[in-house]
Amino acid sequence: MQENQEKFIELVNEKIRNQNLKYSILTMGCQLNENDSEKIAGMLEKMGYKYEEDYKNADLVLFNTCCVRENAEERLFGKLGEIKKIKETKGTIIAVGGCMMQEPIMLEKINKSYRYVDVVFGTHTMQNLPEDIYKTIIEKKKVKDVIDIDGEIIEGLPIKRNDKFRASVTIMNGCNNFCSYCIVPYVRGRERSREPEKILEEVRNLAKEGYKEITLLGQNVNSYKGNDKIRNFADLLIEVNKIEGIEIIRFESPHPKDFKDDVIDAIAKCEKVARIIHLPLQAGNTKVLNEMNRKYTKEQYLELAYKIKERVPGAVLSTDIIVGFPGETDEEFEDTLDVVRKLNFEQIFMFIYSVRKGTRAETMPNHIPENIKSERFNRLKILADKITQSIFWNTLFLYPKSCSVT
Ligand code: SAH
Ligand code: SF4
Ligand code: F3S
Helix (H/G/I), strand (E/B), else coil: 350: strand
Instruction: Summarize pLDDT for 101-158 with one digit per residue, the tens.
Output: 999 999 999 999 999 999 999 999 999 999 999 999 988 889 999 998 887 788 989 9
User: Is the bond into 253 cis (omega within 30 degrees of 0)?
Assistant: yes
User: Atom of ligand 1 at shortest distance to CA of 177?
Assistant: 7
5/127 Cα distance (integer angstroms): 7
123/187 Cα distance (integer angstroms): 7
- Helices 261-269 and 233-241: crossing angle in degrees, nearest 10, is 10
Q: Give the single-character DSSP code of 181.
A: T
CA of 226 to the centre of ligand 1 (A): 25
pLDDT exceeds 50 at position 400: no
Instruction: Summarize pLDDT for 157-179 with one digit per residue, the tens.
Output: 999 999 999 999 999 999 999 99
> Would the CB of 66 count as within 6 Å of ligand 3?
yes
Mean pLDDT confidence for 284-309: 98
- Where residue 404 falls among pLDDT bands split at 50, 70, 90? very low
340/348 Cα distance (integer angstroms): 9
* Cβ-based neighbour number of residue 402 at 10 Å: 5
CA of 346 to the centre of ligand 2 (A): 22
> Would the CB of 237 count as within 6 Å of ligand 2?
no
pLDDT at 405: 32
390/369 Cα distance (integer angstroms): 32
> Would the CB of 184 count as within 6 Å of ligand 1?
yes
Mean pLDDT confidence for 269-273: 97
* Cβ-based neighbour number of residue 277 at 10 Å: 23
What percent of the chain lies above the pLDDT cut of 70? 96
> Would the CB of 30 count as within 6 Å of ligand 3?
yes
pLDDT at 390: 66
Q: Whose CA is nearest to atom 3 of ligand 3?
A: 30
Query: Which bound ligand lies closest to the C-alpha atom of 325?
Result: 1
- Cα distance from N-terminal residue to C-terminal residue, the chain: 41
Q: Whose CA is nearest to atom 7 of ligand 3?
A: 184
Instruction: Summarize pLDDT for 22-32 with one digit per residue, the tens.
Output: 999 999 999 99
pLDDT at 282: 98
Instruction: Summarize pLDDT for 60-97 with one digit per residue, the tens.
Output: 999 999 999 998 888 899 999 999 999 999 999 999 99
pLDDT at 154: 84
Query: Which bound ligand lies closest to the C-alpha atom of 191?
Result: 2
Instruction: Summarize pLDDT for 212-246 with one digit per residue, the tens.
Output: 999 999 999 999 999 999 999 999 999 999 999 99
> Would the CB of 29 count as within 6 Å of ligand 3?
yes
CB environment 107-122: b (16+ within 10 A), e (fewer): beebeeebeebbbbbb
- Amino acid, res. 227: N
- Is the pLDDT higher at 390 or at 397? 390
Q: Find residue 119's DSSP bridge partners.
A: 95, 143
Query: Which of 224, 255, 258 maximizes ligand 2 atoms within 8 Å of its Cβ, making it the mutation to test the pocket?
Result: 255
CA of 180 to the centre of ligand 2 (A): 9
pTM here is: 0.94
CA of 22 to the centre of ligand 3 (A): 26
User: Atom of ligand 2 at shortest distance to CA of 255?
Assistant: 5
CA of 68 to the centre of ligand 1 (A): 7
Average pLDDT, the chain: 93
pLDDT exceeds 80 at position 402: no
For 37, 51, 75, 194, 245, the CA distances from 62, given in Å and listed in that order, are: 9, 12, 14, 26, 34
CA of 355 to the centre of ligand 2 (A): 15
How far from the centroid of its chain's Cα atoms is residue 225's Cα? 19
pLDDT at 391: 63
pLDDT at 399: 45
Instruction: Summarize pLDDT for 332-366 with one digit per residue, the tens.
Output: 999 999 999 999 999 999 999 999 999 999 999 99
Query: How many angstroms separate the most distant Cα atoms in the chain?
Result: 65
Query: Which bound ligand lies closest to the C-alpha atom of 320?
Result: 1
pLDDT at 139: 86
DSSP secondary structure, 76-123, as one string: HHHHHHHHHHHHHHH--EEEEEEGGGGSHHHHHHHHHH-TT--EEE-T
Give the H or E element holding residue 379: helix 370-398
Among residues 197, 210, 196, 226, the alpha carbon closest in space to that of 167 is found at 210
> Would the CB of 66 count as within 6 Å of ligand 1?
no
Q: Whose CA is nearest to atom 1 of ligand 3?
A: 66
Rounded to the nearest 5 degrees, what angle is found at the Cα of 310, between the Cα atoms of 304 and 313?
125
> Would the CB of 68 count as within 6 Å of ligand 1?
yes
What is the arrangement of strands in the sheet containing 93-98, beginning at the earlier edge strand? 50-51, 22-27, 60-65, 93-98, 119-121, 143-145
60/139 Cα distance (integer angstroms): 16
CA of 255 to the centre of ligand 2 (A): 8
CA of 148 to the centre of ligand 3 (A): 16
